[in-house]
Structure 1
C-alpha cells in the first residue's frame, strides 16, 4: 500500500468529489427540483399541487421528499452487505465504480423526464440517488487509508473544496444552457434543463476515471469470506457498534451526528423547492442563489478546518455551527422576501461545507487508525447518516402534507439540531485524555 499523505493520491481522491458533486448540485439542489416543481405545479399559492405516482396521490413536493427518503433507506440496507463483500474480497473499488456508473447512467436517463414519463423518471431519480450515496460509502472509507490523523481535517476539506469547484463549473455551463437555449439549438428552458441532467451523468463518469486509476483497488488483506456475505455485513455493523459503545467520544459524537444530519441534509435537499413554492422565485433566481451558496461553501469548509486546527478543535467548532443552523431554521419560518432568502442561503452556504467536512474528519480521527476495517466503520457512519436522512426527509414531507405548510416542516428540523447540540455539549464534558488521538479534537 502507498505511503499516507501522498499528494497525488490525495488529489486523485479529491477528484471523486469533483466528479460526483455535480449530481448533488444540479440534480438534488438546483435544476432538477426546480424543473420538477415547474412541471408538476400550477404556480398558484392558493391551491395544493398533487401528482400521481404508482397509483397514489401525493403533494408534489412531498413525493420528492419521499422519493429521496426511500433511496436513502435502500442504500442504508444495501451498504452493510456491499461493504462486507468489498472487505472480504478486497475489491471495494469495484463497488465504488458500479455505484458510480449506475448513478451516472440514471442521470443521463433523466433527459427524457416530462409529465408523461413522471413515474419512470422518478424511479430513475431514486436509482441515481442510490448510485450517488452507495459510491460514497467506499469513497469515504479511503480517508484514513490515504491520510494520517493530523492531515485528515485538511484532506477532508480538500475533497469538499474540489467538489464545490467542480460542481460550480458544471453548474455555470448548465446555467448558460438554461438561460440561452436557442443559442445551442435547444427548444427552450425545459429542454435545456433536461440536457443538464445528461451533462451531469457524463461529467460524473469522465472525471471519476481519475480516482479510479490512482486509488488503491481495495484492502491488501484478501480473505475468502468465511460467513454468509449477505448477513456478515450486518454482523460487522453490530461488531462496530459494540466497539463504539466502548469509545465514549465516538458514541456521543455519533448520537449527535445522527440527529443533526436529519436537519443538515434535509435543508440542503429541499431548499430550492422551498424557495420556489413558498416565495415563487423564478428558475433563474434560484439557480443564481444556489450557485452563490456553493461559492460561499468553499471558503466556509476551509474556514471551519482552520478554526478547528488552530484555535478551537473539532467539537467546539461543530457546536458553534449547530447554533447557527438552529438560527437558520427558525429564521426560515419567517422568511417572506427574496432578500431575506438570499441572506439565509448565504449563511447556509458558509456552514454546510464546514459541518460535512468536519463531521467526516472528526469521525475518522476517533477510529482505530491502524484497523484494517475502515470500510466497516465508514459503512456504519454512512448507514447512520442515511437513516437520519430517511427520517429527516420523511418527516419534512409528512409534516407538510399534514399541516399544509413547508414552514412547519422547517421548524421541526430545528428540533433535530437542538438534540444534536445537546449531545455535542455532553461530548464536550468528557476529558480529552479519555481518547488516544489528537487532544485538539
Structure 2
C-alpha cells in the first residue's frame, strides 16, 4: 500500500474500490429496465394495445399524417428523447452544485420506476397509459444516467476509468440477463401458472420496474458524498444558480474542441446503437416472423454475450486505447445492420448469430464511450458534460427512430428501415477519427493513461 504525504498510509485506492463496487450495482439495477421493458416486451405489447384501438390494419391520424401502430411506437420513443434533451442540461448544472449526487440518483431512478410500473395497468386498448409510463420512465432513466455517469470520474482515476466503466456495463448485463431468465420462465410457463400471455408480459415489465427501484438502494446507501469543485459563483436560488452555471459552461465549451468533436461523433453512432436496440424485438417479430419465445431467448443470449464483450473491450482498451477499440466496434455495427437487411425470415440460427454479434459490441462500445469522454472533460463539471453527452444523444436520437419510422412508413418494410441506420455508424466513425485524444486530455487538465 502506498503512503500519503507525511508517512500515513494512502487509503484512497481502497476507498475508491469500495465505491466502485457500490457503483456497479446501479448498472445492475437499470439494465433490467432496458432489457425487459425497452428491448423485449414494451414494443410488441404497445403495438398490440394500439392495434386493439384501431384494428390490426388500422392507422392513427396524427395531424396531416397517417401512422400504422408500429410507427406510432417509434414516434413515442422519439418524444421521450426530445424531452430528455431539453431537461438534462439544466439538471447536470444543478447536480454539479450538489454534494449528494447519490440522492439525485435515487430520486430519478425511483420516479422512473414508479411511472414504468403504470404499464402494468395498461390493458385492452389503453395505449395512452402505457405511453405515459414509457415516456416519463425514459426521461427519468436518462436523468439518472447523467447522475450515474458523472459519479464515474469521482470514484476512479484516469488509469482505472476504462476498466471501471467496462465492469459496470458487464455487471449490468448480468443483472439484466438474470431477470430476463426469470421472466422467460414466467412468460413461457404462463399457462401452467394460470396467466394469460398479456398478463404474463405485464408482470415481467412490472418486475423490471421493481428491480430497478430495489437495487438502486445499494449505491444510494454505499456511495459517499463528494464536494463540488470549480463552481461558478452565482446568486439566487438553486434554479437560478444552476442556469448560471450552465450558461458559463456553454460559453466555456469552445476551450474543449476535442470533447465537442467526440460529442458529435457519439450522438451519431450511439443514435444508431439505440435505434437498433429499440427496434430489435419489433423487427424480429414483425419482419422476420419470430415468436416472442425466440425473441426473449435471443435477447437473453445477447445479455450474457455482452457481459463477456464488455470485459473484452475493456481489456482491449488497456492494450490498444479506447478510441481504436470503439472504431473497431463501429465497423462491426455497420456489418450488423447490413446483415439484418439480408437476413431470411424465419431463419432462427442466423438470427441467433446476428444477436451474438450485437452482444459482442453492444456493451463494450458504450462502456468505452463513457470512460473515453470522461478523459476529455474538466473536473468539477462532470454532471454538466455528461448531461450534454446524454442530451446530444437524446436530442438527436430521434433522428434514428424518426429515420426508421419514416422509411418504414414509406416502404412498409422493416428491412430498408434498419439498413438506413448504417449512415449513423459511418458518420460517427468519421467524426471520431478527428478526435486528438492526447490533445483533448491535455486541454481538460487530466492525466493521460498509459495507453491512449
Q: What does residue 22 of structure 1 align with?
A: 32
Structure-2 change in CA distance of 1:93 and 1:434 (3 Å): closer
* Alignment partner of 2:163 out of 154, 161, 166: 154
Following superposition, the deviation at residue 74 of structure 1 comes to 1.0
Tell me the secondary structure at the aligned position of residue 29 of structure 1.
Answer: helix
Following superposition, the deviation at residue 339 of structure 1 comes to 2.7
Q: Distance in 2 between matches of 1:218 and 1:72?
A: 29
Alignment of 1:100-119 (within 5 A): 100-119=109-128
Tell me the secondary structure at the aligned position of residue 67 of structure 2.
Answer: strand
Structure-2 change in CA distance of 1:55 and 1:255 (3 Å): closer
Structure-2 change in CA distance of 1:391 and 1:217 (3 Å): farther
Structure-2 change in CA distance of 1:22 and 1:52 (3 Å): farther
Alignment of 1:214-253 (within 5 A): 214-217=222-225, 219-220=227-228, 225-226=234-235, 230=239, 233=242, 236-237=245-246, 239-253=248-262
Q: Distance in 2 between matches of 1:432 and 1:102?
A: 36
Following superposition, the deviation at residue 384 of structure 1 comes to 1.4
Tell me the secondary structure at the aligned position of residue 6 of structure 1.
Answer: helix
Q: Which string of whole-angstrom CA distances, capped at 9 and with x for unpartnered residues, describes residues 186-206 of structure 1?
A: 2x2211111112111211111
Q: Distance in 1 between matches of 2:382 and 2:442?
A: 22
Tell me the secondary structure at the aligned position of residue 149 of structure 1.
Answer: coil
Please give the TM-score of this superposition, normalised by the length of structure 1: 0.90
Structure-2 change in CA distance of 1:372 and 1:429 (3 Å): closer
Q: Distance in 1 between matches of 2:265 and 2:243?
A: 22
Q: What does residue 213 of structure 1 align with?
A: 221
Q: Distance in 2 between matches of 1:75 and 1:30?
A: 22
Q: Aligned-residue CA RMSD in angstroms? A: 2.8
Tell me the secondary structure at the aligned position of residue 90 of structure 1.
Answer: coil
Following superposition, the deviation at residue 237 of structure 1 comes to 4.7
Structure-2 change in CA distance of 1:413 and 1:293 (3 Å): same
Q: What does residue 362 of structure 2 align with?
A: 352
Following superposition, the deviation at residue 38 of structure 1 comes to 4.3
Q: What does residue 174 of structure 2 align with?
A: 165
Q: Distance in 2 between matches of 1:48 and 1:331?
A: 29
Following superposition, the deviation at residue 164 of structure 1 comes to 0.6
Structure-2 change in CA distance of 1:89 and 1:143 (3 Å): closer
Q: Mark the runs of 5 or more structure 2 residues left unpaired by the alignment.
A: 1-10
Mapped contact 1:16–1:207 kept (Cα < 8 A): yes
Tell me the secondary structure at the aligned position of residue 148 of structure 1.
Answer: coil
Q: Distance in 2 between matches of 1:74 and 1:4?
A: 39
Query: Do residues 197 (structure 1) and 231 (structure 2) align?
Result: no
Q: What does residue 306 of structure 1 align with?
A: 315
Q: Mark the runs of 5 or more structure 1 residues left unpaired by the alignment.
A: none
Q: Distance in 1 between matches of 2:327 and 2:263?
A: 14
Q: Which string of whole-angstrom CA distances, capped at 9 and with x for unpartnered residues, describes residues 202-246 of structure 1?
A: 111111100011123454569995257556656645544554433
Return 194-203 or 228-237, whichever deviates more.
228-237
Q: Distance in 2 between matches of 1:9 and 1:145?
A: 9
Q: Distance in 2 between matches of 1:394 and 1:122?
A: 17
Q: What does residue 438 of structure 1 align with?
A: 449
How many aligned residue pairs are there? Answer: 433
Following superposition, the deviation at residue 84 of structure 1 comes to 2.5
Mapped contact 1:81–1:232 kept (Cα < 8 A): no
Q: Distance in 1 between matches of 2:380 and 2:308?
A: 33
Mapped contact 1:89–1:225 kept (Cα < 8 A): no
Query: Do residues 322 (structure 1) and 330 (structure 2) align?
Result: yes
* Alignment partner of 1:342 out of 349, 352, 368: 352
Mapped contact 2:102–2:220 kept (Cα < 8 A): yes
Return 69-78 or 220-229, whichever deviates more.
220-229
Q: Which string of whole-angstrom CA distances, capped at 9 and with x for unpartnered residues, describes residues 157-203 of structure 1?
A: 111111111111111111111011244342x2211111112111211
Following superposition, the deviation at residue 30 of structure 1 comes to 0.8
Mapped contact 1:279–1:338 kept (Cα < 8 A): no
Mapped contact 1:255–1:423 kept (Cα < 8 A): yes
Please give the TM-score of this superposition, normalised by the length of structure 2: 0.88
Following superposition, the deviation at residue 148 of structure 1 comes to 0.5
Query: Do residues 366 (structure 1) and 376 (structure 2) align?
Result: yes
Structure-2 change in CA distance of 1:139 and 1:41 (3 Å): same
Q: Distance in 1 between matches of 2:226 and 2:401?
A: 33
Q: What does residue 137 of structure 1 align with?
A: 146
Query: Do residues 92 (structure 1) and 105 (structure 2) align?
Result: no
Q: Distance in 1 between matches of 2:398 and 2:240?
A: 22
Following superposition, the deviation at residue 363 of structure 1 comes to 0.4
